[in-house]
A = this chain, B = another copy of it.
Amino acid sequence: MKIHKGHHGNCCCGKIRGFGRRITPARHAVLDALSTRGEHLTAEDVFKASSRRYPNIGLATVYRTLELFTKLGMVSKFDTGDDKARYEFADGPHAKGHHHHLVCTSCRRIVDYTDFIKEEMDLLHKTEEGLSKKYGFKINSHVMQFYGLCRDCAR
């Protein structure tokens, strides 16, 4: 079986196997879809893209796979106010590609941004620490998103 060229050139199979889960063509197809089709993909997007490489894949499998990858921390699932979940490869809070989203509430455009990420991270760390202590939560992730109108929609 061909080695999957993962998100950052690494193979994700180890992570999957490490969890006692199997490597399958369907999962490979989803991985490929995520790495080649960009970000902010709906399940339907991923389904279409994976179907190209693996025409028999079922939509339910795509959902199951995305759920699995999300649980493994390889994928981040978020929503932007329409009623579809979005998926993209997760660059964890500490990784290089970590970014947040700017969403146009009119045309649904999504802009990734990394500006201020450093400051955000500092604050997020501080907050996580403080909240963990105060409320006894073990914090695993966060969502930070801005909503507004893009240039085109604003006028």
The smallest C-beta distance from A103 to any residue of chain B, in angstroms, reads 9
- Copy number in the complex reads 2
| A128:B140 contact, CB within 8 angstroms | no
| B137:A115 contact, CB within 8 angstroms | no
- Residues on B with beta carbons closer than 8 Å to the beta carbon of A135: 102, 111, 113, 150-151
Distance of A131 Cα from B119 Cα, bound (Å): 14
User: Is A143 interfacial (CB 8 A cutoff)?
Assistant: yes
Name the residue of chain B whose CB is nearest to the CB of A127: B116
Name the residue of chain B whose CB is nearest to the CB of A137: B148
Residues 107-139 of chain A: 1 if any B CB is under 8 Å from the residue's CB, otherwise 0?
000010101100110010011101110111111
Choose from B79, B115, B147 the contact partner of A139 (Cβ within 8 Å).
Answer: B147
Report, as a range, how many residues of chain A touch the other chain.
Answer: 35 or more
Name the residue of chain B whose CB is nearest to the CB of A145: B143
| B136:A141 contact, CB within 8 angstroms | no
| B143:A144 contact, CB within 8 angstroms | yes
| A120:B127 contact, CB within 8 angstroms | yes
Distance of A108 Cα from B141 Cα, bound (Å): 14
- Residues on B with beta carbons closer than 8 Å to the beta carbon of A141: 146-148
Distance of A79 Cα from B104 Cα, bound (Å): 18
Distance of A137 Cα from B113 Cα, bound (Å): 12
User: Is A65 interfacial (CB 8 A cutoff)?
Assistant: no
| A102:B123 contact, CB within 8 angstroms | no
A residues lining the B interface (CB < 8 Å): 79, 102, 104-105, 111, 113, 115-116, 119-120, 123, 126-128, 130-132, 134-151, 154
